Amino acid sequence: MKIVQSILQYLKTILAISGFRIDHATVLRSIFMGLSVLLTIYLSNSAHVSTGLALGYFAVSTLAYIGFITLCLKEHGWRKKFITKFGEVDGYLKFEGILAFCFYHNGASIGYLNVVTAGSFEIMYMEYLKYIIGGIVLVGFVVKLWAAQVVGWDIYYWKDMFLGRKISDFAVRGPYKYFANPMYGIGQIQAYGFAIWYGSTYGLGVALLNQSLVFIFFFLVEKKFIQRVYIQGKETI
């Protein structure tokens, strides 16, 4: 029974890190995410695919994602307007809903670009390397999933930064025993693995760009929050 519960919990975590927090599902969220899935299906089956469309999709979705978390989560960011207007609980849920939408489209746009630009380079002995590439994808995915499971979904969605205070202690177990930042670091390598699998030069480029932007957000915004709140103990309403 415990094994079944653990499997179900990990399945829920997979959905959560993909943008589907089923514990916070609402009619409006479900409509938006349903339409998002339909868009992904349409794009993957469209006869009018183009590199320009794929790059535009990535650019818009990534700008929305990185821009939204940066503008909201900095010390005097939009989070205060959310809290003032809706209160902490409803304000966070609205923030989380928008972020979930951004999470989904950021990942979907990278996948779509890989598919559209597949075969832009070839690797010798690809048949033999498939197992290695599959291992890279698996390791990155497992580490990211493991890290999200350890810190919890709320931390994954930056609830502590949104509220301006600690909601848990630092995780010192799981992948955090071995890596300082497993989610942003090794947890991102599956994007490179998929790009190599598809033979997509563009895929490799956007994987590097996407990871770089996440680390820029970390150093410019998140690290300051950690220093201020978790280390110095100065919470910000």
Contact 150, 171 (CB under 8 A): yes
**DSSP 8-state symbol, 90:** H
| Nearest CA among 121, 98, 110 for reference residue 33 | 98
100, two tokens: 């979930």
pLDDT digits over 44-59, tens only? 876 667 889 999 999 9
Rounded CA separation 184/220 (Å): 14
The pLDDT of residue 224 is 93
pLDDT digits over 73-126, tens only? 998 999 999 999 999 999 999 999 999 999 999 999 999 999 999 888 777 666
Rounded CA separation 141/230 (Å): 27
The pLDDT of residue 61 is 97
122, two tokens: 């070839």
Rounded CA separation 96/73 (Å): 12
pLDDT digits over 172-214, tens only? 777 888 777 888 888 888 899 889 888 899 999 999 999 999 9
Residues in CB range of 227: below 8 A, 6 or more apart: none
CA–chain centroid gap for 44, Å, is: 21
Q: pTM above 0.85?
A: yes
